[in-house]
Each structure stands twice: as structure tokens, then as C-alpha cells.
A and B are shown apart, each in its own frame.
Chain A
Amino acid sequence: MDKFTTHTGVGVPLRRSNVDTDQIIPAVYLKRVTRTGFEDGLFAAWRNDPDFVLNHRTYATGSVLVAGPDFGTGSSREHAVWALQNYGFKVVISSRFADIFRGNSGKAGLVAAQVDEKVVQRLWDWLDDHPGGEITVDLESRTVRAGAGEDAIEDSFDIDDYTRWRLLEGLDDIGITLGHDGDIAAFEASRPSWKPVTL
């Protein structure tokens, strides 16, 4: 996984709450057996609407999604994270993420930055005033920044310590766990014999 320290990119306002993973990528797009190519299914139902934010040229190179609360609810499909990444998003900012989506993001290297609801509103308003404006997400200091001068925004975001450390270092979770092989083997030796097996 690539290291993530800081990212600056075009902010995309997604003024919706409860964006579930069926909206991020509908089930019919889940049939690939690779991790790439899911960008065509991203927000598929909404992309037919010419007014949908991703259809505006201003946001064509968007990489920081600013979404309403309860982003990523519903299905566990990691394809939702891949679709966002395949499309070019590096960061999603929201005031509340569904647990599984947040976990999947951390594993796949997409930064899920949780901010106060007011910060989302301020970023939306700022993007209205500065369409195509860039947002900086600094994982080291856990801050989001946008603009300069009078209406500049700078605030902190939440991400758990462990995920932050892994993203900063670009570490592979499985590799870390395999380093604890002795602990796993000891645990396995102590399991009761009546626990079910499938083979």
C-alpha cells in the first residue's frame, strides 16, 4: 500500500445524507473479479442526471469528497471503496461513517476523515463560493484546510490512531498480523475440542 501523508485536491460537495453503499455502487456492477475498473459504477444511478455534481466539469478531477452524515451505510461491499478510489478519490470527509465502510477504507488506503457536522457545512458553503477549490487533508496533523484569508477553513478531523499509523507507514495489515504467528498458534492450541469444523 502507498504511504499517505498529505493530499491536496479538488473538493466535491455531495449534499446528501445516508449515502449507502448501494448508491455508491449498485449490485449489478459488483460482478468483476478484479479490484479495478469499478469507476464506471460509482454513483451510477445519479450520474444519469446532468445536474449531478460529478457531471460538472469543475469537479472532473475531484479527489476529496465532502459528504453528508452516515456515509457508506448498508452493504459491506469493499467495491464501494474501490469505486471511489478507481474514480480518483483519495479522501472522503463526512461527519459520520458506517463502521464497515470506515474499516474497508482504512484497509484499502482511502482516508475516511470524520469531522464535525458544522465543518461539512462550511466546506460545502466554501465550495459553493469557490467551485473547483482545493482542499488539503493532512494525515500527520489530522487537519483539513481550504482557502486562504477571510473565509479560510482549518479544522481537525478524527481517524483512529492505528489506522492513521498504518496509512502513514503504508503497512500491510496481514504482514503485521503474520508477525504474531506464535500468539495465534498458542490460541489455536487452547480452543475447546467441541468447536465446530467444516472439513
Chain B
Amino acid sequence: MGKTLSEKVWDEHVVRSAAGEPDLLFIDLHLLHEVTSPQAFDGLRLANRVVRRPDLILATEDHNVPTLDWDKPIADPVSRTQVETLRKNAADFGVRLHPLGDIEQGIVHVVGPQLGLTQPGMTIVCGDSHTSTHGAFGAIAFGIGTSEVEHVLATQTLTQARPKTMAVTVNGSLPEGVTAKDLVLTLIAHTGTGGGQGYIVEYRGQAIEELSMEGRMTVCNMSIEWGAKAGMIAPDQTTFDYIEGKPEAPKGADWDAAVAHWKTLRTDEDAVFDDEIVLDASTMTPFVTWGTNPGQGAPLGASVPSPDDFDEPNDKVATEKALQYMGLEAGTPLREVKVDTVFVGSCTNGRIEDLRLAASILEGRHVAADTRLLVVPGSVRVRLQAEAEGLDKVFIAAGAEWRGAGCSMCLGMNPDQLAPGERSASTSNRNFEGRQGKGGRTHLVSVPVAAATAVRGTLSSPADLAPLGG
């Protein structure tokens, strides 16, 4: 019997396997950031252990960093301690770090791919659940806890039970104006937040193949939001073209050898998945969340659901609690929901393609009177590229705030937070209670919906905007 993509990559990394024990997997790339690493380095010191392979580690500062005044010392002393701790650990253990102010600084999941360090067939881990982003290149990439970070630092391996495999096949093409984000939000509403539990998922089918690398990263990024261990997409010419010429990509004969190997990373015809979900992209529409988990979503054209729409008692209660927290009335058309703040950014939608798309909608338009729009590039490189293309001017002319790179309002660890009761439309990945600030209310949306919402002040898609006067 043939193998699936994930089985091939998994098998290539097994250092040791024994009956009744999880496999010992070799890790090709370990990404670090300031929040989930300090206790791991501490553990090493306490046990007198060393970092086994500093040459397979990359660290950036992203979760805590300010997106204003980033050239000054961090004002919040606790955030500063965390960042300074990472700097000290990186220096002590010989780890490559791109600190605030460095041209390669940014959200760890934006930086890896743009450096060309994220490549097909690798195993990639990070103390961050959205490590699944890197699966867009055909890598097995997943988030780990701090004890596991310590384990990888000390051994460059992880003990892992082999997950089950699932195919998510998305047939047809996405309609004009419907994005990878809408696709993945539709999927999560279909499966619920636990539907992928225990699986490595392979996204496949025409709609997936037609996505750019940025779009594929958006889809894989949100794998964790429906519980999957990891999400992957088989590498193809789109993948190779994206990687070629990146600073850390293989060169010359190495490039040829690498591509020859990467081309073998496809699920065999006769391979069998443990489970499969089939979706039709051609019927998808702009999709937004109304609740407090990413599975509580609906088409933008729909209305806020009522607890009575659900059969399961757990779903009824969850809906009731969500509506109360979100301050929404069942039956309200989603298009009438008024939004205070729009956030464009994060490792889900903070790449250059996302900013281009947002700018194309905002060009010649203005943000609604009592709405604020925050545009936060995913990395310094993305910021510089956007500025080279003049996108920053479009944002500023439209009345948006143009910021420095980082996680920012995605999780509100830095000063970019929602006030209690404030409502956002956000291109990030989590709408949990308080995620963007205590009492804040988050609607997850695509980039075009975010841009159109900023202009109209209520949840909207570009189709709702008045045409620009000629």
C-alpha cells in the first residue's frame, strides 16, 4: 500500500521506534520566540545541559513587541524582561536571533518562510500553535509546549505518537473575491473546533492547488483552530517558485537535489487516509465568525444564529454564552453588526499579498468616521516591501494606522488591545473571549472583508462598497 504525504515525511524523520512507545522524531528546524522559551532555557541550565544543534534554531521577537516606537526600549517592564531574557539565552547558548530593530525581525511564522528556511519535507516545531503555517510547504509543522521546547533544545528530537491521517479535499475553484481565509473558516464551521483532533491533515484538490503560497499558509495556519495536529499541502511548482532564490534556499546542485526529492513528496495513488472531508469551493462566500471560537461562523450574508438553531445541548449553551459575550441579538443580519476596530495583520493574514489586497480595496476610499483601522505587517521585510510599493501611503490616506511588525492585536500582549466591549473585525485566527484585550469582541474575517468593513463601519464585503467615482 502506498503512503500519504505526511507518512512519507514522518518516516523520513524517525530516529527510533519501538513497540508500545511513541516514535522519536528528528526535528529539522526549531523556531523560538520570547514567550514560550524562557522556562525551557532555565530547565537546561538547572540540569547542566547544552543545546544540541544551535545551527537548527532560529529565534525572533514577536509576541510582546510594540508596533509603535519600536526603536525605543520597550516601555512595559515585564514585556521588556521577557525580550531581554530571550536575548540573553540566545547569546549564552549560541542561537541566531533577529531582535526588534533587525531587518529580519517579525512574526516567527512569517520570517521562516520569507528566509527560505521553511522547505518541503521538513519537520518544524515552535512553542506556538500556529506553527502549522509552515505545513503549506509540505512540511510536518506543529506547535509544542515549553517542556517540549526544552526537549528539542537538548536533543533535537521529540517523542511523538504517530497521528492519524485525514484528507480535506476542496474541489472546484473559489469564486472571485472569496479567499483562502473564507475557505478555512467555512471548513472550521463545518468540523467544529475539535474535528481535526489527532489528525495530520492534508489539504488537496483544485481549490488548494490554485492558491498562492500566501493563501496556502493562511489555510494551514488555521489547522489548529479545528484541532488538527498539523496541516500540510503537497509541494508543487508554486512552492518551488516561492522558495527559489530566498536567502536560505538551497543553491546550485543542492537546489536540484532538493527539488528532485521534494517532487517525491506527494500522496501515492493507492494510499489510504483514515478519514476524508470533501468540500466544494465554488459555493463558498465571504465568511465571518459571530461567536467566541473559530467554529462559530456563518456566511456574511446570513444572520446571527439563535441557540434554538442547534440540536446538541452543549452547542445551545455555547451559543447562548457566545451571543451574550459578543453582545449580539439572534436574527441580526451580520452585515448590520457595527465594528469599532479593524485589524489587518497576524501570521494568518499579515503577508505582502494580504497588504496588497487590502490596499487595492482602500485605494481612493476612507475609513468610516468612528472606526479605527490598524494595519500591522507580519515582518520588517513585509513592511519595507509594502513601503517600497507605496501601500503605506494608501493606508495612511485612507485614515488607517500603519504600524511596525509583530503579533500586535492578534493576542494583545503588547499595547495594541481592544477595550472592554469594543468590537473588532480581525484578519487573525482566534476570537476567544478576551483574546484581543479583556472584554473585547472579535469577528474573524478575510482581508477583503476587513478592508470593506473599515470603510462601511459594519461587517461588509467589497461588493457592498459604492463604486469609486470615475
Residues of A within 8 A of B (CB): 16-18, 20, 22-23, 26-28, 30-35, 45, 68-70, 73-79, 81, 96, 98-100, 103-104, 107-108, 160-162, 173-174, 176-178, 180, 183-184, 187-188, 191-199
Contacts and interface: CB of A to CB of B under 8 A. Distances in A.
A111 to B, nearest CB: 15
Nearest to B296: A18
B15 A30 contact: no
B127 A76 contact: yes
Q: How large is the interface on B (under 10, 10 to 19, 20 to 34, 35 or more residues)?
A: 35 or more
Contacts of B64: 31
Contacts of B154: 174, 177-178
Interface string B115-134: 01101001000011100000
Interface of A is mostly: loop
Interface stretch (B32-40, B173-181, B208-216, B397-405): B32-40
A173 to B, nearest CB: 6
A173 B36 contact: no
Interface centre among B58, B85, B227 (most CB of A within 10 A): B227
Contacts of B293: 18, 20, 73
A27 B128 CA distance: 13
Nearest to B163: A99
Nearest to B257: A194
A188 B56 CA distance: 12
A44 B176 CA distance: 43
Contacts of A184: 15, 24, 26, 52, 155-157
Contacts of A100: 129, 142-145, 224
B150 to A, nearest CB: 7
Contacts of B35: 30-31, 77
B318 A18 contact: yes
A192 B256 CA distance: 13
A108 B86 CA distance: 22
11 contacts: A20-B293, A78-B127, A107-B145, A160-B161, A162-B22, A162-B159, A174-B47, A183-B16, A192-B257, A196-B116, A198-B96
Given A22-B432, A78-B36, A108 B194 contact: no
B197 interface: yes
B49 interface: yes
